Amino acid sequence: MQNESYSSDAPVSKIDDDEFSRWSFSERVAQVIADRKDSSSIVIGLYGAWGDGKTSVLNFIEQSLVGTDDVICIKFNPWRFGTEDQLLMGFFNQIADALDKKLTTSGDTLKNIGSKIIQPLSKMANVEAVGDIVTSFISMPDIDIFKTRTEELLETSKKRVLILIDDVDRLDKTEIHSLFRLVKLTADFKYTSYILAFDKDIVASSLQDRYSNSQGNSGEAFLEKIIQVPLNLPHIDRSTLRRFCFQGVDEALKLANIELTQEQVQRFHINYLSAFDDHISTPRKAKLYSNTLMFSLPILKGEVNPIDVMLIEGIRLFYPKLYDFIKNNQDLFAGTFISSQYGNDDANKEHIRELIDETILNLNVTEKEGIIELLKDIFPRLQAVYSNTYHSGDSLKIWDKNQNICSKNYFFRYFGYSLLPNDISDTNLNLLIQDINNWQQPYSIETNPLSVVLTPENADSLIQKLYKKVASIDSIGANQMAIAITQVSEKLPAEDNFMWADAYTQSTWLIADLILNVSKVERVEVVKNLFNHANTIDYQTTIFKFLKHDQRDNAQPNYLNSEEMRDIGTHLARKILAEIQDKDITLDEENPTSYIFWLLNKYINQDVVNDYIEKIISSDDNAIYRILDAHTSTSKNLLDGTNSKGLFEKDTYEYLSKNINSSIIFGKLEQSCSDLLYDLKEYPKVNKREYDRKRTILQQFAWLYKQDWSHREFEFLSNSVNSKVLLFK
């Protein structure tokens, strides 16, 4: 990478730095001044907008006069002086210094001493009149004397003094008035020439208030009295300024070590001409734009789309109100336009158009058309608003891949010059994938690349970003990434979100997709091995739940056949059974108790479930309630986010009875809680918010159990009677 740096906005002074062919103009002005034989003063006005290069022209004029013995250049800076008297004295002294002369005499020293004595006395006496007398005594005669002395020095030297005064338009109104009074006061000095550089409109406006007339053009009229030779800066043609701007953009790209494709260059060029060309009207604005890119491109390199950065930064500089509107309204600009099923698309589109139109209200027709075209390019969602062109979900994937600003996953990166706290950079993501690919056996948590990167805060973003990289990961990398994710599963937030999947659940989806990349002959063993790396039974069972994708929108019917699933399920069931033999899984609410019983029943048999149930309830009566409660549903209150458990209902009972011999539970219930079963004539209902949940759940199970067995006994008797009738016949 080249050692480029931020391009200074400082004016230039050498002919080699003349980007806009102004040296010859400056040289001619300097020559006219040098060749002037008339000793009278002349005042030249150099007019140009802010940033148009006035200071550089003054520098060129000064350089052109180097070596000219009869002309002395001085740059007078009116910013340095507070009062008009100080301004005048500073001006006279600077001319004297340029002529290598002194304005003060030995008599002036005595007067200065007197001023230091008299002024404090006036303050001590607290008499305003004395102060006025002293001020008059000190300032007015001094100014006149020094003015006369300056005139005498000029006439004696016979050398022309060129006074260059820059940035007049940056002074406040009072300072502008003072400066022009100085010029007017000294305009009769012989052998002097003045060049005042300023924006004519700004200065005329400042003078307007002080010298008003009936025609309303008093500011310009006053300038015409002072400025004897008005000169406008030579015009910079549009193509030259554009080339200058593009040179700065190229430097910014080199600094960031970014190479654009021809397609990217063309896209930028089209949008630049459409929206920025008319706004970059001076060299300073071109420098401002390129310097902005020199800052933003390196900072965001690898995290965003470079062309989108270049375009949104242009909007920030030249359309600041629109930029703020975009930044604060992601939903209007990012993503795709979703067509409404109720047919009110037109109203929605019109609303968006009105909001944007209000933001760009002050632009002319050409500017509006140009910026709308740019917006449609960087925010394709607006193509539906302005040209009825819609984009599908496939476009979202492309925008994510290209790191476009129109992607909701990248939008805010463009406005903060940094990542959000819960985000992970694309550069670090690619390095992470590379580290996982290079991970060596034995795959330990200590060497797991994910264990360093993953945090509860960035888990959601990280899992989603890895999910989008699945297609590019090979078989070995997929296996190692699945292991890496499984090992850190305890760090993944498991939030009870019913509206969307949390990082914990999404990670198992990601694992299922990674297994797709593993060669088919290795998939079963790879999955079995994953269970060994999972720290919890819950994560093992969650992986198993989503292996076939049948609960998602990308079902894979040939992913794992029924025989392979039975092999995996049996392996997992036996592994879990071995882990829980000496434990009561109902004591830990994090365990998926009901799913474990289903798994054991399906892939081993119900006997192992019944044996386990008998074992834990024989040593703990409360285990009965925990088993039943684990089978009830959980719901979330969308208003306050709290979870609540459901009751033990008929479908709950039926599910439990498929996996467990319910008679075992009822028998223990009769033995330990017989009082709860007394006089149980109907299904126990809950009519108030606060209730004895344990008592209610146990009674609901008991009632459903009795109903179930009464039905079974009736069926048994009916079948027996029917059999006897048939025999009798």
What is residue 17's predicted lDDT score, i.e. its pLDDT? 63
Of 377, 393, 416, the position where a domain reaches its end is 416
What is residue 501's predicted lDDT score, i.e. its pLDDT? 75
| Domain-located, residue 628 | no
Q: Which tens digit of pLDDT belongs to each residue from 387-419?
A: 888 888 889 889 999 999 999 989 999 998 777
**Helix 345-359 with 365-378: angle, nearest 10 deg:** 120
Report the range of poorest mean pLDDT among 97-101, 200-204, 369-373, 434-438: 97-101
Q: Name 43's bridge partners.
A: 194
Do 98 and 40 fall within a single domain? yes
Q: Which tens digit of pLDDT belongs to each residue from 42-60?
A: 999 999 888 788 888 898 8
- With b for 16 or more beta-carbon neighbours within 10 A and e for fewer, the 221-243 pattern comes to ebbeebbeeebebbebeeeebbe
Tell which residue, 484, 583, 502, 586, has the closest CA to residue 542.
Answer: 502
The answer for 78, left when phi > 0, alpha when psi is -120 to 50, beta otherwise, is: alpha
Do 227 and 250 fall within a single domain? no
User: Amino acid identity, residue 107?
Assistant: G
Calculate what percentage of the chain has a pLDDT beyond 70.
84
Do 290 and 176 fall within a single domain? no
Has residue 698 got a pLDDT over 90? yes
What is residue 606's predicted lDDT score, i.e. its pLDDT? 94
Pair 185, 88: CB distance under 8 Å: yes
CATH number, position 162? 3.40.50.300
Rounded to whole angstroms, the Cα distance separating 112 from 89 reads 14
Helix (H) or strand (E) holding 47: strand 42-47
Query: What value does the mean pLDDT take over residues 316-334?
Result: 95
Do 50 and 182 fall within a single domain? yes
Do 329 and 463 fall within a single domain? no
Query: What value does the mean pLDDT take over residues 504-528?
Result: 94
Count helices and strands in the chain by DSSP H and E runs: 33, 7
Has residue 121 got a pLDDT over 50? no
Q: Which tens digit of pLDDT belongs to each residue from 96-107?
A: 888 888 877 655
Of 543, 563, 580, the position where a domain reaches its end is 580
With cut-offs at 50, 70 and 90, classify the pLDDT of residue 139.
very low
What is residue 122's predicted lDDT score, i.e. its pLDDT? 43
What is residue 272's predicted lDDT score, i.e. its pLDDT? 96
Query: What value does the mean pLDDT take over residues 642-661?
Result: 91
| Domain-located, residue 52 | yes
| Domain-located, residue 611 | no
Of 232, 254, 270, the position where a domain reaches its end is 232
| Domain-located, residue 432 | yes
Averaged confidence pLDDT in the chain = 84
| Burial label, 472 (beta-carbon count in 10 A; 0-12, 13-18, 19+) | exposed
Do 302 and 161 fall within a single domain? no
What is residue 703's predicted lDDT score, i.e. its pLDDT? 93
| Domain-located, residue 561 | yes
**Helix 426-437 with 459-468: angle, nearest 10 deg:** 70
Q: Which tens digit of pLDDT belongs to each residue from 16-32?
A: 666 777 778 888 888 88
With cut-offs at 50, 70 and 90, classify the pLDDT of residue 678.
confident
Do 376 and 275 fall within a single domain? yes
| Domain-located, residue 13 | no
Most confident of 133-137, 215-219, 453-457: 453-457
With cut-offs at 50, 70 and 90, classify the pLDDT of residue 680.
confident
Do 213 and 320 fall within a single domain? no
Q: Hey, what are 128's tokens? A: 């305003």
CA 434 to chain centre: 26
What is residue 316's predicted lDDT score, i.e. its pLDDT? 96
| Domain-located, residue 609 | no
| Domain-located, residue 300 | yes
Has residue 599 got a pLDDT over 90? yes
With cut-offs at 50, 70 and 90, classify the pLDDT of residue 344.
low
Do 349 and 266 fall within a single domain? yes
Rounded to whole angstroms, the Cα distance separating 596 from 659 reads 10
Q: Which tens digit of pLDDT belongs to each residue from 150-182?
A: 888 888 888 888 999 988 888 888 888 888 888
Pair 44, 195: CB distance under 8 Å: yes
Q: Which domain holds residue 405?
A: 238-416
Q: Which tens digit of pLDDT belongs to each residue from 487-508?
A: 999 999 887 654 567 899 999 9
- With b for 16 or more beta-carbon neighbours within 10 A and e for fewer, the 457-466 pattern comes to ebbbbbbebb
What is residue 117's predicted lDDT score, i.e. its pLDDT? 39
Q: Which tens digit of pLDDT belongs to each residue from 245-292?
A: 999 999 999 999 999 999 999 999 999 999 999 999 888 899 999 999
- Phi first, then psi, for residue 340 (nearest 5°) are -80, 140
Residue with tokens 């088919």: 520
What is residue 398's predicted lDDT score, i.e. its pLDDT? 92
Do 361 and 493 fall within a single domain? no
Do 92 and 218 fall within a single domain? yes
Do 388 and 443 fall within a single domain? no
As for how many domains the chain has, the answer is 3
Beta strand segments in 565-615, E: none
With cut-offs at 50, 70 and 90, classify the pLDDT of residue 377.
very high
